[in-house]
Structure 1
């Protein structure tokens, strides 16, 4: 067996992964809305390049993201703990542990909110398709995924933040 090809990490306890150092890449006034969200990027720990995986905790009153949709990225969530509300531009759905939801690119706008007094823990999976853009129906925000894999934000009229 060639041990030089074995990755340094093969398996971990997901909750032991370090949280992101910055809770959001959104500009203000949206950044502060993510203060009750903690993401632990799991896929990055294993060198995954084609899709991302996050273990995300929403404290009471927390939001997973602004209400949004992607132009190219598919997303999937699985509820591990708590009872978040799935908010979409076509209505709301209460979720519970064991439930999941998927959001194809150019589909419905979506976000999860924690309206309970207990933490919510979800697993998020999304692809990393180049050229993706995010639109936000309720906020003056537009996002573009840059060639470096970082999100760039502007107002809907194109002015930078």
Structure 2
């Protein structure tokens, strides 16, 4: 049976949140449970059948993080803040963002980044990333490495051993 025809348009808030919030290994999620809790992603690009890039509407509750601080070798990333004031953490330090602000992370530059919601209100932002095959991700603050394979993200320790 063919895939159902994607919608022509939809309200972003009506797109259901992802069932699995994190792709990280269970041991990493268990260790960082508090910081990883409170992130909700709605895969807007997937709702339209987009295959070359992803678009997510992401909500961070107070105290939540967008991801572990990371840098991609092959994937560009872009964020646009819709509501709230997240803190962007990069190799250069911290920058408080506000609605209407955006940030981009070019592939291969090695600038590890993530967002933290240190405020008392929810943060809402759009994130856009491409899906370049063979992408590798480094996590400077964690014993973790990742590679995008044909079957999805494959995680290892930094020394290459499996989780």
For Structure 1 versus Structure 2, the TM-score category normalised by the shorter chain is: over 0.9
Measured in 2, the distance between the counterparts of 1:156 and 1:105 equals 20
**SS in structure 1 opposite 2:45?**
helix
1:27 Cα shift? 1.1
1:28 Cα shift? 3.3
Alignment match, 2:20: 22
Alignment of 1:53-64 (within 5 A): 53-64=55-66
Q: Deviations over 1:54-90 (max 9, x none)?
A: 0000000000000000000000000000000000111
CA contact (8 A) 2:6 2:49 kept: no
Alignment of 1:66-145 (within 5 A): 66-107=68-109, 108-145=111-148
User: TM-score, with normalisation over the residues of structure 2?
Assistant: 0.92
Measured in 1, the distance between the counterparts of 2:143 and 2:93 equals 21
User: TM-score, with normalisation over the residues of structure 1?
Assistant: 0.93
Q: Which runs of 5+ in 1 are unaligned?
A: 1-6
RMSD: 1.0
Measured in 1, the distance between the counterparts of 2:88 and 2:145 equals 21
Q: How many residues align?
A: 154
Alignment match, 1:4: none
Measured in 2, the distance between the counterparts of 1:34 and 1:43 equals 23
1:118 Cα shift? 0.3
1:147 Cα shift? 1.1
